[in-house]
Structure 1
Amino acid sequence: MNLSTPATATVSRRWLAFAVLLAGAFLPPLDFFIVNVALPSIRQGLGATPAQIEWVISAYAATYAVFLITGGRLGDLLGRRRVFLAGMTGFGMASLVCGLATSPSLLIVGRVLQGLSAAAMAPQGLASIHVLFPEHERSRALAVYGAALGFAAVIAQVLGGVLIAADVFGLQWRIIFLINLPIVATVFLVGIPFLPDTRSATPVSVDRLGVLLCALTLGLLVVPLVQGRELGWPWWLCLMLLSAPVVAVGLWCHEVALQRRGGTPLLSPQLASSPRLLAGLVSALFFYVVSAFFLTFSVYLQDALGATPVVTGLMFVPFGVGSLIGPLTTPAAVRCFGRWVPALGMLLEVLGCLILSVAVGAAAAGERPALALMITGVGLLGFGQGWALPTLIRSMLDRAPAGGSGMVSGLANSALQTSAALGVAVLGGLFYAVAAPAYSPATVAHGFIAALLGIALSLSLSALLALYASVPRSKSL
């Protein structure tokens, strides 16, 4: 049966097709979050340096960010079924590389390949909703899609801890990557007959030079920020960092010229005509630095407090619960607080960071902080994110130029992934800079507090930008 249009797809088949596509949306956030619990085990097992541990997260997030928009456009151009299956195949092979890695460098290469593959398969599920479902079913499909992403973030931390503790087949941390293989195999064995073969009626070509310049800009930023502290900031890393804004200007000039020639740029110059939309995108760049929390909290729990991977995973549960409850209460929050909701959500996260900082600072070195304060702080981080994330994206989509909602959605997601990569690079580097001299329970705790305060500062800036971005068009601050 052809599933290219809603009219030709039975109810059961289109939901089965969507379930298969959801696997491609579920795996990328699962593999972003699940690795955090395993980082201390990876460091010990492979003898990785702090910078290499940061790369395990940043390499994945940065690659995913750069190629996410391109993955969506390739699906429009070549067919979403083909691109989805190519991405799923690549993700399985990259997971095998990660799971069998014998060195930190090989693991990082595997993570880059995972990011590339995730960027190919993840956008196809969201893009297929319009094709698979009639209008009255799309809201339900979007809700299921969002719940799948939230569930991936919630389950990842606990699943990672349980898998490592179980030491399945003696694989230790490697199982968190190899667990992807049966999921990929199931998609191919069971799901292929249900996958729709769809593509955009008006596909646009890929801006290859734009993609290259975007990747180069991000690379020139992330590489020095991750490696600089460990290598003592040699001249060539400083030169890379100084070159990043130059390449970024070159990227913008290319995009303007491409649009003038009638092409479709990766980053639309129309963004410059909407300062509040730009403010929203910059807010997103500061917002997802909370990714550094997952790295530093996991290391703090295991290296400073001696927690097991299972206990570490369980300590993330309040975040997951908060991130699930937050979106459920968002409609009521919007009715009460209106455009203030994104900023208020971020300020709740700031409060969570401050509570955790006080709790960790008040505890003796190597002793667990007050459990009630830890649960409250972690829960506020999740709840605040549940309020802020959907409303921040919605405020950006409301400012999208005519016909540009897809472009803005892609840019918003890329900005969030870029924020995750930079957050780990900058605040992860700060954590290790404070913790590294003695690397004792006391210094690790101090490093964690420093990272929390850095996250709180970034979220405060994001809140101010989000507030500006959400001002109604007819009003000014």
Structure 2
Amino acid sequence: MEINSVDPRRWMALAVLLTGTLLPPLDFFILNVALPAIRTDLHASPADSQLVVSVYAAAYAVTLILGGRLGDIYGRKRVFIFGMLGFGIASALCGFAPSPAVLVTGRLLQGVMAAIMGPQSLASIHAIFPPEEKNRALSFYGATFGLASVAGQLLGGVLVSADLFGMGWRSVFLINLPVIALAIPAASLLLRENRAEKSDVLDIPGAILLAAGLLAFVLPLIEGRENHWPWWCKALLITSIPLLLAFWHYEKKKESRGASPLVYPSLFMKSGLRKNLAAAFFFYALASFFLIFAVYEQGALGNDTLATGLAILPLGIGFFLGPWCSPSIVSRLGSRTAAFGMILEVTGLIFAAILALNGRTSYLPLPLFIIGLGQGIAVPALVRLNVDQVDPRFSGLAAGLVSATLQISAAVFVALIGGLFFTLAPDGASAPEIQLAFSISASAIGLSLGVAAMLCWKRSLK
């Protein structure tokens, strides 16, 4: 049942919940550094290497809404532990993979389990903390993403280079196992079960329709650019439209009969939720910045992979520190905190674009730090803007919706901004052409974040 009294162990429980927040993005960032070693050891083709990354991203994005809804129905503690156990099994499968096919299978399972585990953290924070403590709790939540971005880049390189016990790249997956071995017993002891008082029945047809529609939409966006947009990518994108429309029609019909849909269409009658989800979509255009920055560092400045990873660290540090500033900013700006963070990001992006265009690269750490700081301030505030629009019994669904929106946004903007960048700076482009492409693309990301800031700029939480 839903928690009505304050849990005295809520801050200890938060530490456990944040483990489920940390592991999914950490595994994304940590893998980037290990990919060259994986290709060499497993004799993986470039297509296999791309699949190792994309299958995780696609499975994660497609399953997030279902994952959040499972917590609402069956209990967030139970689903959190199940997801974490499954993530551990998938990590072991990846760590001991004898071939690229097994590794891709493990990454698929990792993505699904991450999407089942992750929304329970945010939904449980919404359920167990009173309103006056939520901003502080969400600051820890936001800082965890910043920690993942910093630690992932550094830890991946350290683990692969150290070659602990001769494990090489396998340690980037196996390191999850001791963390999970500690987190699951702690979750059993410290988390209090919470779910809707009236448990719904899982809408299996709706889940299948949504998964099919999202997969048909997201997969081409992830795979299309690398494969030069083959016919099947275009066919899947077209197919996604009737699938998602069929899902929406089915959910509306089911709710009108008084049954339990996977997603309640009536929730979207709230203009606040629609605007804040739209803000989340435009906000995560920043995901494409990591792609264009890496190409700019290596193609225009001639830096290697390690130097590129170190160059982006100021952004990660800002992302880690930003959430700690968020509560004090909330006390002054209220619901405009998210927009304030986004404005900082726009400032940093424009500053970085100008510096790159003028070749003043030694000053780039400053705008990168500003971008990360703004991201860290905006994330917890934006999450709360969305989740607070929904009845607490649907907090898992709300967590899944906002998380899925961010992941879908990442896929869309990596395709759009990446397409813009590589049109301006195709293979073999000169350093000045890459500089220009980076500056224009960074400005386009800033424009998207400006739209997000306008959408969530309002006077009070509702």
Quickly name the TM-score band, shorter chain normalised: 0.7 to 0.9
Change (3 A) 1:278 1:458: farther
2:166 maps to 1:194:
no
Q: In structure 1, list runs of 5 or more residues that go unmatched.
A: 364-368
Amino acid at match of 1:411: L
2:385 maps to 1:395:
yes
Q: Do the aligned partners of 2:342 and 2:453 also contact (CA within 8 Å) in 1? A: no
Amino acid at match of 1:194: L
Change (3 A) 1:336 1:361: same
User: What is the 5 A alignment of 1:51-450?
Assistant: 55-101=51-97, 106-129=102-125, 141-188=137-184, 191=186, 194-196=189-191, 198-200=193-195, 201-298=197-294, 300-301=296-297, 307=303, 310-331=306-327, 333=329, 341-363=337-359, 370-372=361-363, 374-397=364-387, 399-400=389-390, 407-428=397-418, 437-438=427-428, 442=430, 446=433, 450=437
Amino acid at match of 2:236: M
2:29 maps to 1:33:
yes
* Aligned residues: CA RMSD: 3.9
Q: Secondary structure in 2 aligned to 1:393?
A: helix
Alpha-carbon distance in structure 2 between the residues aligned to 1:338 and 1:136: 12
Q: Secondary structure in 1 aligned to 2:259?
A: coil
Instruction: Using the TM superposition, give the Cα deviation of residue 26 of structure 1 relative to its aligned residue in structure 2, in angstroms.
Output: 1.8
Q: Do the aligned partners of 2:71 and 2:396 also contact (CA within 8 Å) in 1? A: no
Alpha-carbon distance in structure 2 between the residues aligned to 1:231 and 1:186: 41
Q: Do the aligned partners of 1:218 and 1:244 also contact (CA within 8 Å) in 2? A: yes
Identity of aligned residues (%): 41
Q: Do the aligned partners of 2:72 and 2:393 also contact (CA within 8 Å) in 1? A: no
Alpha-carbon distance in structure 2 between the residues aligned to 1:29 and 1:111: 13
Q: Secondary structure in 2 aligned to 1:205?
A: coil
Instruction: Using the TM superposition, give the Cα deviation of residue 73 of structure 1 relative to its aligned residue in structure 2, in angstroms.
Output: 3.1
TM-score, length basis structure 2: 0.82
Alpha-carbon distance in structure 2 between the residues aligned to 1:330 and 1:19: 19
Q: Do the aligned partners of 1:222 and 1:425 also contact (CA within 8 Å) in 2? A: no
Q: Do the aligned partners of 2:334 and 2:460 also contact (CA within 8 Å) in 1? A: no
Alpha-carbon distance in structure 1 between the residues aligned to 2:379 and 2:11: 26
Q: In structure 2, list runs of 5 or more residues that go unmatched.
A: none
Which has the higher mean CA deviation after the structures are superposed, 287-296 or 308-317? Answer: 308-317
Change (3 A) 1:250 1:462: farther
Instruction: Using the TM superposition, give the Cα deviation of residue 143 of structure 1 relative to its aligned residue in structure 2, in angstroms.
Output: 4.4
Instruction: Using the TM superposition, give the Cα deviation of residue 95 of structure 1 relative to its aligned residue in structure 2, in angstroms.
Output: 1.9
Change (3 A) 1:460 1:9: closer
Amino acid at match of 1:165: S
Instruction: Using the TM superposition, give the Cα deviation of residue 407 of structure 1 relative to its aligned residue in structure 2, in angstroms.
Output: 3.7
Q: Do the aligned partners of 2:343 and 2:449 also contact (CA within 8 Å) in 1? A: no
Q: Do the aligned partners of 1:322 and 1:382 also contact (CA within 8 Å) in 2? A: yes
Amino acid at match of 1:97: L
Change (3 A) 1:80 1:283: closer
Q: Deviations over 1:181-200 (max 9, x none)?
A: 22223335x53662546242
Instruction: Using the TM superposition, give the Cα deviation of residue 292 of structure 1 relative to its aligned residue in structure 2, in angstroms.
Output: 2.5
Instruction: Using the TM superposition, give the Cα deviation of residue 31 of structure 1 relative to its aligned residue in structure 2, in angstroms.
Output: 1.5
Which has the higher mean CA deviation after the structures are superposed, 155-164 or 375-384? Answer: 155-164
Q: Do the aligned partners of 1:95 and 1:181 also contact (CA within 8 Å) in 2? A: yes
Q: Deviations over 1:105-148 (max 9, x none)?
A: 55443322111111222233444457767888766555444443
Q: Do the aligned partners of 2:345 and 2:449 also contact (CA within 8 Å) in 1? A: no
Alpha-carbon distance in structure 1 between the residues aligned to 2:218 and 2:174: 27
Q: Deviations over 1:147-184 (max 9, x none)?
A: 43432333222222322333434544443222212222
Change (3 A) 1:173 1:354: farther
Alpha-carbon distance in structure 1 between the residues aligned to 2:395 and 2:254: 20
Q: Do the aligned partners of 1:284 and 1:462 also contact (CA within 8 Å) in 2? A: no
Q: Deviations over 1:304-358 (max 9, x none)?
A: 6565655444323311222233334445555666665434433432333333344
Change (3 A) 1:173 1:456: farther
Change (3 A) 1:157 1:231: closer
Q: Deviations over 1:231-288 (max 9, x none)?
A: 4444333222222222221121111111111123333222443344323212212221
Instruction: Using the TM superposition, give the Cα deviation of residue 361 of structure 1 relative to its aligned residue in structure 2, in angstroms.
Output: 4.4
Q: Secondary structure in 2 aligned to 1:265?
A: coil
Question: Match for 2:447 among 456, 460, 471?
Answer: 460
TM-score, length basis structure 1: 0.79
Alpha-carbon distance in structure 2 between the residues aligned to 1:8 and 1:267: 28
Q: Deviations over 1:345-403 (max 9, x none)?
A: 3343233333334444445xxxxx6222x202211220221233233333334544797
Amino acid at match of 2:90: A
Alpha-carbon distance in structure 1 between the residues aligned to 2:132 and 2:17: 20
Instruction: Using the TM superposition, give the Cα deviation of residue 420 of structure 1 relative to its aligned residue in structure 2, in angstroms.
Output: 2.4
Which has the higher mean CA deviation after the structures are superposed, 54-63 or 413-422? Answer: 54-63
Q: Secondary structure in 2 aligned to 1:286?
A: helix
Change (3 A) 1:110 1:472: same
Instruction: Using the TM superposition, give the Cα deviation of residue 224 of structure 1 relative to its aligned residue in structure 2, in angstroms.
Output: 2.5
Q: Secondary structure in 2 aligned to 1:151?
A: helix
